[in-house]
């Protein structure tokens, strides 16, 4: 189980500013699968999140997301690993649009998203119980295009929105043995990411806008995981991200894992 939240501040290629605050809850269940080499875990997940969006000049929006997916993790005997996730979202979108004459118009629509990511890395043990985890990740998302009709007759249409994000980074941490037999692992993480997708177009009353977030960004994070027993493990992490068109002032995850 994982609870999460974050805040995003973004400026699109056409200079449109918006702020988004998201929080959500995710549940998952997995099981080991016997393989000839290493360890393989397969699982399913599902969850819900809600996002509040504030644009310039009083326009606001809300997005409720319901999602389900599957994931897999393979661990080799010498520390290499591969993680993969595939997820399908169903969005319920509501918009409250401020018009140039100070009036308000409302509308809503639903659409879908499919996305996933794959990560390759290695857990490297260092002296004095320190460890290093370099990794490379590639993620991709496609959001269904949809038309929004407001109650004043105005309409806006999104083309299919795409994102292709590459990331490389590393974590540095230490394993600390606890008196009761548990293990505490504090760590820090640094990464560089590149958004490759361009020209995500929105059309409002036949006027075109580009909401692309193409560009690079840097990420910093810190966290801790603790194994309280063979069955119970807790974790928490906090992240900051900054790029040319986007900033995440804060992001947080808190979760637990229970083995049966």
For 116-165, how does the pLDDT look when each residue is reduced to its tens digit (9 = 90+)? Answer: 999 999 999 999 999 999 999 999 999 998 888 888 888 777 778 889 99
Q: Residue 252 maps to which CATH number?
A: 2.40.128.130
Predicted local distance difference test score (pLDDT) of residue 54: 92
pLDDT band at 41 (very low <50, low <70, confident <90, very high): very high
Q: Please state, rounded to an integer, the average pLDDT across all residues of the chain.
A: 91
For residue 70, list its beta bridge partners.
Answer: 44, 86
Q: Are 104 and 62 in contact (CB under 8 A)?
A: no
Please give the Cα distance from 217 to 134 (Å, whole number): 18
Q: Which two tokens stand for residue 106?
A: 């409302």
* Start-to-end Cα distance in the chain: 14
The CA-atom distances, in angstroms, between 112 and each of 46, 69, 89, 93, 242 are 15, 13, 6, 11, 27
Which of 118-122, 179-183, 210-214, 253-257 has the least mean pLDDT? 210-214
Q: Which has more pLDDT, 190 or 213?
A: 190
Residues 5, 200 contacting (CB under 8 angstroms): no
How many folded domains does the chain comprise?
A: 1
Of all residues in the chain, the percent with pLDDT exceeding 70 is 93
Handedness of CA 254, 7, 71, 221 (dihedral sign): negative
Q: How far apart are CA 153 and CA 147, in angstroms?
A: 12
CA–CA distance, 171 with 134 (Å, rounded to integer): 6
pLDDT, tens digit, 9 for 90 and up, residues 208-240: 566 667 889 999 999 999 998 888 999 999 999
Tokens linked to 82? 């591969």
Distance from C-alpha of 205 to C-alpha of 251, rounded to nearest angstrom: 35
- Its domain, for residue 64, covers 2-258
Helices and strands (H and E) in the chain: how many: 0, 18
pLDDT at 104: 84
At 206 the pLDDT is: 54
Picking from 96, 84, 12, the residue whose alpha carbon sits closest to that of residue 54 is 96
Pair of tokens at residue 86? 């595939």
Phi, psi at 244, each rounded to 5° = -65, -45
Mean per-residue pLDDT, 178-205 = 85
Residue 86: the pLDDT is 98
């Amino acid at each position: 189980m994982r609870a999460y939240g974050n805040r995003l501040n973004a400026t699109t290629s056409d200079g449109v500013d918006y702020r988004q605050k998201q929080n959500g809850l995710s549940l998952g269940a997995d099981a080991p699968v016997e393989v000839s080499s290493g360890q393989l875990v397969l699982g399913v997940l599902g969850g819900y999140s809600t996002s509040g969006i504030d644009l310039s000049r009083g326009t606001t929006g809300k997005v409720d997301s319901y999602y389900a997916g599957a994931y897999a993790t393979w661990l080799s005997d010498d520390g290499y690993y591969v993680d993969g996730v595939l997820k399908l979202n169903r969005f319920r979108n509501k918009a409250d649009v401020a018009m140039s004459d100070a009036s308000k118009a409302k509308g809503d629509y639903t659409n879908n998203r499919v996305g996933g990511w794959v990560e390759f890395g290695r857990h490297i043990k260092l002296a004095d119980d320190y460890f290093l985890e370099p990794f490379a990740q590639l993620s991709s998302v496609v959001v269904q295009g949809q038309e929004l009709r407001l109650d004043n007759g105005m309409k806006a249409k999104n083309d299919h929105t795409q994102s292709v994000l590459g990331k490389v980074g590393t974590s540095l941490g230490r394993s600390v043995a606890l008196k009761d037999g548990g293990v505490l692992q504090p760590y820090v993480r640094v990464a560089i990411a590149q958004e490759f997708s361009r020209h995500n177009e929105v059309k409002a009353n036949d006027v075109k806008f580009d909401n692309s977030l193409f560009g690079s960004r840097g990420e910093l994070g810190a966290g801790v995981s603790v194994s309280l027993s063979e069955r119970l493990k807790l974790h928490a992490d906090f992240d900051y991200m900054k790029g040319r068109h986007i900033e995440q002032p804060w992001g947080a995850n808190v979760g637990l894992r229970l083995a049966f």
